[in-house]
Amino acid sequence: MTHPLHLFKFCPKCGSPHFVENNEKSKRCEDCSFVYYFNPSASTVALIVNNDGELLVATRAKEPVKGTLDLPGGFVDLNETIEETVVREIKEEANLNVNRVEYLFSETNIYPYSGFDVHTVDFVFRCFVDDISPMKAADDVSKLEFIKIENLNPELFGLTSIQNIIRKIKTTKI
C-alpha cells in the first residue's frame, strides 16, 4: 500500500514545492525546514444496547458506502475530546442524550473520502442513554434500528473497522 504522504506535493507552511520524504512517517520542506508527520484522524464509534440486548444500528445516508449498515459515531472536531465527540455524534445522528460513556477498545480503519484514504483510529465506546423515545435518524444517517447482537452480519456493514467491531462484540460481552 502506498503511504498517503505521496499525495502531498507542497509544504503546508510555506507552499514550497521542495517538500520531500523525510522518513516513512513524514515529509520535510527543504526551504523552511518544516517537518509534517502524517498521523491518523481520531473517530468515535458508539455501542448503545437496549434492555432487550439489541444494538443500535444505523444505515448510512451518504457516501462512502451509502446504504450499508454502520454504528453511530464520527470524526473528532478541533478542541473536542473523544468523549465529547461520541456524545455530540449520538445527538446529531440519533437525537439521543448520552448520560455516560465507557471506553472499550479501538480499531484502525481506512475511510475513503473524496478520493482520499483517511487513515483513522476508531475509539469504541459503550454509551448509556436513559430514554430512547426521542430517537430519530438525522445528519448522515437515513435509518436507525435495534438488532439483536447475535443476529448481526458483519458483511452488511460497509466500513472494515465496523465489520471488525461487530465480529469482536459478537464474541465478547459488552
Express as a percent the part of the chain with pLDDT over 90: 90
pTM for the full predicted model: 0.92
Q: How confident is the model at residue 5 (pLDDT cuts 50, 70, 90)?
A: confident
Q: How confident is the model at residue 4 (pLDDT cuts 50, 70, 90)?
A: confident
Task: Indicate if the pLDDT at residue 2 is higher than 90.
Answer: no
- 106-164 pLDDT, tens digit per residue, is 999 999 988 888 999 999 999 999 999 999 999 999 999 999 999 999 999 999 999 99
Domains of the chain: 4-37 (no CATH), 41-171 (3.90.79.10)
Q: How confident is the model at residue 6 (pLDDT cuts 50, 70, 90)?
A: confident
Q: What is the per-residue pLDDT for 1?
A: 58
Q: What is the rounded average pLDDT of the residues 68-93? A: 98
- For residue 22, which of 38, 10, 35, 3 has the smallest C-alpha distance? 35
Task: Indicate if the pLDDT at residue 73 is higher than 70.
Answer: yes
